Amino acid sequence: MATPLTADRFLAALRGEQLDVVEVGNWRTHNRKGHGAWGPMHGVMIHHTVTEGTGNSVRLCRDGHATLPGPLCHGVIDKAGRIHLVGYGRANHAGLGDDDVLRAVLAEQPLPADNEANTDGNSRFYGFECINLGDGRDPWPEQQVEATARAAAALCRAHGWGARSVIGHSEWQPGKVDPRGPIGRLDGPPLTMDRIRTRVAELLAATPGRPSPPPRPRPPYAPPPFPIGLAPGKATPSARGLQRALKAAGFMAKNVVESDNYGPSTQTSVARFHNAHPAYRAIGTAYDPAIGTRGWAFLHRLAHGK
């Protein structure tokens, strides 16, 4: 919990974290003053824009649209890792979220599942919108991911917060999915908030005013070998492993009872995976019930956040 930074201190914090910052128009005074509180601040929230193109995205986040006036965040992070400041003060970015999540952020504890929308987040969180289509397929360049972590770390450093004060929109408001998508390329590892928080923690551990260390290289992820005999209609203990991976990656409902049967519910969930990632379809059709060796490997990377 903290008093909001002044606009000057906000800008200085970002630039102090070695970020390329663009000031857009009257960003310092562009806000939703008079439409609710601004502060005390509790953390930083990360979003994706569901748009493409820097100019278009920055205009939208600054001006808003017919049903939601701008600014829609404080800074827009483009694909090259530049931060475009579009507003400061109360902004329409977080909306209503879960009070249990807010308590966990305040205590810097692991977040509970968000299951209600009863608390104003616009007054409590700084917000960054990252340019991405949000379809789960649009890649996040490494420099954009790094800038996102550095922007969050800058504000955490300024307020004396830890990495658990950084959350995603999906962790705050039920029904939201942002941020999401692969890193670097279509078949790259998925962007997760745990990955961002890990990088924020690394940056916060560095000495202020000195160049921060680059991201630590991560060992390549090796998925389990594709089980012989895993095919639609067959009963095999490996079907349970497939079902667990489908649940973890969000393609199978968590309340489905796992079994050794590679039956209709598993086949339908595999087809959902293929519709989201068509490069891994084995037979080239929209409904592909067979996971295939390449699909098996990529699904496990998604499920384990690698």
How far is residue 175's CA from residue 35's CA, in Å, rounded to a whole number? Answer: 24
Give the residue ranges of the chain where pLDDT is below 70.
1, 207-221, 282-286, 304-306
Omega within 30 of 0 (cis) for the link into 232: no
Q: What is the pLDDT of residue 128?
A: 98
Sign of the Cα pseudo-torsion (18, 19, 25, 26, in order): negative
Query: What is the tens place of the pLDDT at every residue in 161-208?
Result: 999 999 999 999 999 999 999 999 888 899 999 999 999 999 999 866
pLDDT of residue 72: 98
- Judged on CB neighbours under 10 Å (0-12, 13-18, 19+), 264 is exposed
* Helices 293-303, 264-276: crossing angle, 10 deg rounding: 80
Taking residue 305's Cβ as centre, other Cβ atoms within 10 Å add up to 15
Place of tokens 């658990």: 164
Q: Using alpha carbons only, what angle is made at residue 132 by residues 279 and 173, rounded to the nearest 5 degrees?
A: 105
> Would you state the structure tokens that stand for residue 263, as one six-digit string?
């039956």
Across the strands, what pairs with 69? 64
Label residue 6 exposed, middle or buried (CB < 10 Å: 0-12, 13-18, 19+).
Answer: exposed
Q: What is the pLDDT of residue 303?
A: 74
pLDDT in the model for residue 305:
62
Going along the chain from its start, the domains and CATH numbers come out as 7-205 (3.40.80.10), 238-303 (no CATH)
Region class of 228: left (phi > 0), else alpha (psi between -120 and 50), else beta? beta
